[in-house]
Amino acid sequence: MQILTKNTLPLGGFAGLTEHRLVTDRRVFGARKQPNTFDGIGNFVYLADATFNPYGETHMHPHKEIDVITIMMDGRVTHEGSLEHGQNLDAGEAQIQRAGGEGFSHNEINPDPTKNRLLQLWVLPDELGEPAGYKHYTINSSGTTRIYGGSKNQTTTFNSKTYIDVVRLQENEQLEHNESEMLVYVASGSANFTDKSETFEANEGDLIRITPQAISATSSSEIIIIGEI
């Protein structure tokens, strides 16, 4: 079990955005990989826990051959750009933007006079040259919502051998164990994580690399799970 805590990392960001970067995979960042951050798992290469300043924005910027996943925790953002221009993303929702070979440009804006909070994750595509695309999800109020990953013969999610689940658990609720390595981020609440040798109580902002035997919520929690199919 490996554990990384958000508040032990420097606060960075750009334009109207501040963020803690927890995963900066060397396959993408190379020598720019930030010290003490994790590498990813599968094709997952980046995780940031971010806050927009009031009326903050990123300004228009491009992406190519990357899948950009945004999970809205608090507040909302408005999206401008070449994919789903004008789409709002509210707390409890997620969007996935597949840049593909053609790429896309976008600007993310906080339209409100208060700060918001979101998680942003990047995944490299299994195959280069895919068409650009967009998917939007409302996170289930309980249980597991798969927002990314799956085979090519389904259309609910973008195909990938890397999956991303958003899991909402109530206090004392337990998630069935999955005996394969995964990265798990506690986006809110707290939970006990048990592997073959130890148990760790994780709180909001903890990222754990683990092959779990059990995950048990100690308070109402939202947990992001990234693994390989």
Is 79:105 a contact under the CB 8 Å cutoff? no
Domain limits at 72?
Answer: 2-228
Is 201:174 a contact under the CB 8 Å cutoff? no
* C-alpha distances in Å from residue 122, one per residue of 1, 64, 114: 23, 11, 26
Average pLDDT over residues 17-44: 95
**pLDDT single digits (tens) 192-229:** 999 888 899 999 999 999 998 889 999 999 999 999 98
Average pLDDT over residues 30-55: 95
Number of domain units in the chain:
1
| pLDDT score for 86 | 60
**pLDDT single digits (tens) 149-186:** 999 899 999 999 999 999 999 999 998 766 789 999 99
CATH of the domain at 10: 2.60.120.10
